[in-house]
Chains A and B, each alone.
Chain A
Amino acid sequence: MSVTTARGPADRKAGRGGRRPRYGQYALELVMIAVAVVFLFPVYALITLAMKDPRQIAESPLSLPSPPTFGNFGDAWSSASLGPALLNSTVITVVSLLLLIVVGSTGAYYLARCARGLGYGLYILFLLGIVLPFQLGMIPLYKLVDDLGWLGTYQGMVLFYTGIQLPFTVFLYTGFIRALPQDYAQAALIDGCNHRQAFTRIVFPLLRPITGTVIILNAVFIWNDFFTPLLYLGGSDKETVPVGIFAFVGQYVSDYGLVFAGLVLAALPILIVFVVLQRYVIKGFAGGLKG
């Protein structure tokens, strides 16, 4: 304690601000805020246009909406079918995540604990999937899903996401499990658990931190993905939010107020989740990709 107190002022000096004079820090703060203001210009345009009627947009596209109108939001919600689109996106994202967690963690458990011979070969095989661009298999997979009759269905998308995100998920889990002490699972085995019980009761709960990362990274990817849902779901009643919004914009392209109100509503759910869970999301993105 006394050490900390004694080192306090020196530490503050040695810290990030350094010995830079105070006004330097204020200058930096101003510069950074100015950068953020410029950076936010598109968002300003987005929000203000969503609250303007066509006449205001034509006459004063840059000014604040006066008076603001909120009719665009209701119109956009129904014309873009955002309700069903949000439901579709939620179902596809949640089911894919559940499968990714179950299939990915069990697979990685084997790969991490059997790191020689077959296990190692399979691990390398999974890593290959991280590098392969999905476009290479895009068309044969499209045919396969078509032959199964799964175009325009939830299960087609869920199968796609579970498979396409599996290499990365297995990679994250394997790295984490390898660093985990083996003693608990071994103790459970000796006490008469079988491997399935040892995994579900002992190992899986220990994987919570990495499961969080797996959920965040995969959820953001799946929720926002566009190309494949456009191919598989385009024109069906199972369209996800990005596909639905894209079609909606194509239809009302000249009505910016309506289009932007739709964009605001469509972006809001993930932005709210992001702000609420910002610490975990940023951590997941910053650290989850370290190999």
Chain B
Amino acid sequence: MTSTPQKTVPGVVTEAGDVPRPGRGRPARRRDHTVPPWLFVVPALVVYAVVVLYPSLAGVMYAFTDWSGIGGFSFTGTDNFRALLDDSRALESVTNTLLLTIAVVVVQNGIGLLLALGVHTNIKSRAVLRLIFFAPAVVSPVMVAILWKYVYNPENGAGLNGLLGAVGLGGLRQDWLGNPSLALWSVAAMVVWQYAGYSMVVFLAGLQGVPAELHEAARIDGAGSWQRFRYVTWPLLAPALTINLMLSTIGGLKLFDQVYAATNGGPGTSSETLSTVLYKEAFVYGKFGYSTAVALVLALFVAAVSLVQLRYLRAREVTA
């Protein structure tokens, strides 16, 4: 492919006449002087090894120890994982993490898609709407959580309860973050509010890639607007859907900031997630070995979900 004009470089051994010949199997291996020297990749590799590879491998190792963060440690086999199975708080955090993730993924992408369809029209306010809906996504999640903590104020006159009262829905007032059976869903709603616009933007990019001729052809063939969405737009949105599902799932599984700032896992353990549990085990209780075991479980969830989603969602992608 890279048949450059003959040029002899001192020190580089080139086989005579090594022009790639078609149909000759693997091209002869030669030193291609257009490939940059490997020194180019060294800085990246060093930083990556120090910040990601070494700590992650060490983390896997510590998951099998009783390390307390200070001094030595001994290997305890699978003790941490067995302890995890007896730890009701950790188990609840697994359930909570999964429920939270599912809720966020479904609702955020559902709303995101509807917003994208609404904005991808000729309405006059579409540019402003797009700006408004996306804006929360660029703000720090902690700050959004602080704001929503007020919105979820249990008092009758303030925040969401005040709004419900003002529009005659006072019966729906709740102690949004103080009610153990509600806190997790309140956190989910807050996350959806922040990132629905993000999903919208990704879907919007997908919608803009749907050729107008396909819609026209379907229309001429007598397809109604639902049929055109179902059979023309939706299949072509698959790549956008893949990105959105991957991002929201991984984000949901790792969610920390919003939970930490809004409920800190409470009331009780009702909104505890894997990330808040592993944070507390390490930095509140000093159980570093146990904490990394929880982190390893989280890592396995994320890896499994990414692989499955990539496989199944990629399979149904079509091109226009």
Contact = CB atoms under 8 A, between A and B. Distances in A.
B172 interface: no
Nearest to A173: B44
Interface string B110-128: 0000010011111111000
A42 B147 contact: yes
Contact of B36 (A139, A199, A231): A199
Nearest to A60: B157
B138 to A, nearest CB: 5
Interface in B92-119: 115, 118-119
B292 interface: yes
B138 A270 contact: yes
Interface string A27-39: 0110111011001
B125 A133 contact: no
Given A111-B41, A140-B59, A186-B4, A163 B48 contact: yes
Interface string A198-241: 01000000000000000000001001111100010000000001
Contacts of A94: none
A260 B50 CA distance: 39
A227 B257 contact: yes
Contact of B296 (A15, A136, A189, A274): A136
Interface in B225-259: 225, 239, 243, 247, 250, 253-254, 256-257
A149 to B, nearest CB: 15
B154 to A, nearest CB: 13
Contact of B163 (A62, A107, A199): A62
B47 to A, nearest CB: 5
Given A136-B296, A282-B201, A160 B51 contact: yes
B202 A286 contact: yes
A14 B219 contact: yes
B265 to A, nearest CB: 14
Contact of B125 (A29, A140, A199): A29
B5 A190 contact: yes
B52 A267 contact: no
B140 A135 contact: no
Contacts of A18: 219, 225
B186 interface: no
A245 B138 CA distance: 16
A191 B138 CA distance: 45
* Dominant SS among interface residues on chain A: helix
Nearest to A243: B142
Contacts of B212: 11, 14-15
Contacts of B225: 18, 20
22 contacts: A14-B212, A16-B122, A32-B125, A32-B129, A35-B118, A62-B158, A129-B48, A129-B53, A132-B302, A133-B299, A136-B60, A140-B55, A163-B52, A166-B47, A166-B52, A186-B2, A226-B256, A227-B260, A242-B140, A246-B261, A256-B150, A289-B247
6 closest Cβ pairs, A-B complex: A163-B51, A137-B55, A107-B44, A140-B58, A286-B205, A224-B140
Interface of B: 2, 4-5, 7, 33-38, 40-41, 43-45, 47-48, 50-60, 62, 69, 115, 118-125, 129-135, 137-143, 146-148, 150-151, 155, 157-160, 162-163, 166, 193, 198, 201-202, 204-205, 212, 215-216, 219, 225, 239, 243, 247, 250, 253-254, 256-257, 260-261, 275, 278-279, 282-283, 288, 291-292, 295-296, 298-299, 302-303, 306
